[in-house]
Structure formats: C-alpha cells, structure tokens
C-alpha cells in the first residue's frame, strides 16, 4: 500500500506552502487519494521529478529550495543518461584514442623516414646512374623532402 501524506508534508517535500499544494490539487496537477484528503508520497515525488526533468525548466513561482531540487533532479537524470550511454559503449576513452593516434603517427613517420634509404640505390640503378654516388644524392633529396612534409604536418593549422 502506498504511503499517504498530509498536504503539509507534501508542501515540505516540494518546498512550497500547503496552500500552494491545495492550489495544485484544484488545478489537477496533484491528486488527493479519494476520501482521505491526503496525497500519495510516491505521486508527489514523481510530480517533483517530472517538473525537474521538463527541459530543465525552472518555475519562477517555486521557492529557491524547490528550484534547487529541480536542478538536482535534472542533473541526476543527465548523469544517469551519460552512464547508460557509457555502458552501451557509445563513448570512447579519449586517452585510448590519443594513444592509438600517436602510435599510428609514429609508425607513419618511421616508414616515411626509412623510404630514402630503401629506395635511393634502386632509383639510381633504374636511372642507369652510379649507384653509390647517385644513391646518396637521391637519398639526401628524398630525406630532406620527407622531413619538410613531416614538419608541416606537426604545425598547427592557421585557422585553429
């Protein structure tokens, strides 16, 4: 059986006056348990939560304690929603993403830096040049260009 409370207790829970509770009953926002002149505690608490969650709106007629309760309930609802989404895997850990992005960037940089050493003698041979002499020139040119590209990639974008 639901716990029944008097209008004064409902007023205390809601942070409003007992006459305001009577007003809310008359306009149909709160309901008395028939024949008792009392209210169901659970319904009063649900009404307060619904008010707090309604777009996080603040009713200016309510005293500061009720407004605080509304905001608290709205914050709790937002936290609960966030926790639910996190459990469903809808969020990813930014530290994990940052670490993986750093590792991928490091692998790309190492692969690009190794290219001139791997290709220089092959390119010189394909061009019919002296592999030792032309290879070192090709190697230096490629290494310098790759270094420039990598430095450009580490710069902040101009619009940021």
Residue from 36, 71, 34, 37 nearest 52 by CA: 71
DSSP state of 93: -
What percent of the chain has a predicted confidence (pLDDT) above 70?
Answer: 89
Helix, strand, coil % in the chain, rounded to nearest 5? 70, 5, 25
> Between vectors from CA 146 to CA 140 and to CA 151, what angle results, nearest 5°?
125
Phi, psi of 66 (to 5 degrees): -70, -40
Give dist(CA 28, CA 2) in Å, integer: 20
Output the pLDDT for position 99.
92
pTM for the predicted model, two decimal places: 0.41
- Residue 103 has a pLDDT of 92
In this prediction, residue 121 carries a pLDDT of: 76
The pLDDT profile of the chain, 160 residues, written as one tens digit per residue, is 578 999 999 888 888 888 888 888 888 888 898 888 899 888 888 888 887 666 455 555 666 777 778 888 888 888 888 887 777 777 777 888 889 998 998 998 888 888 888 887 777 777 777 767 777 777 888 888 888 888 888 887 776 5
Model pLDDT, residue 107: 92
pLDDT at 62: 60
- Print the SS3 string covering 98-139: HHHHHHHHHHHHHHHHHHHHHHHHHHHHHCCCCHHHHHHHHH
Spell out the long-range contacts of 53-57 with Cβ–Cβ below 8 A and sequence spacing 24 or more.
53/77
């Amino acid at each position: 059986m639901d716990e029944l409370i008097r209008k004064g207790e409902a007023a205390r829970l809601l942070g409003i006056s007992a006459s305001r509770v009577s007003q809310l009953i008359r306009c149909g926002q709160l309901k008395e348990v028939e024949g008792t002149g009392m209210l169901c505690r659970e319904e009063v608490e649900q009404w307060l939560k619904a008010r707090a969650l309604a777009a996080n709106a603040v009713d200016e007629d309510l005293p500061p304690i009720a407004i605080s309760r509304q905001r608290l309930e709205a914050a709790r609802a937002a936290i609960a929603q966030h926790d639910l989404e996190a459990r469903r895997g809808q969020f990813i850990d930014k530290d994990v993403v940052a670490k993986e992005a750093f590792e991928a960037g490091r692998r790309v940089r190492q692969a690009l830096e190794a290219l001139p050493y791997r290709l220089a003698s092959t390119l010189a041979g394909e061009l019919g040049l002296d592999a030792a002499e032309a290879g070192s020139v090709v190697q230096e040119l490629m290494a310098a260009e790759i270094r420039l590209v990598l430095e450009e990639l580490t710069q902040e974008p101009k619009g940021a």
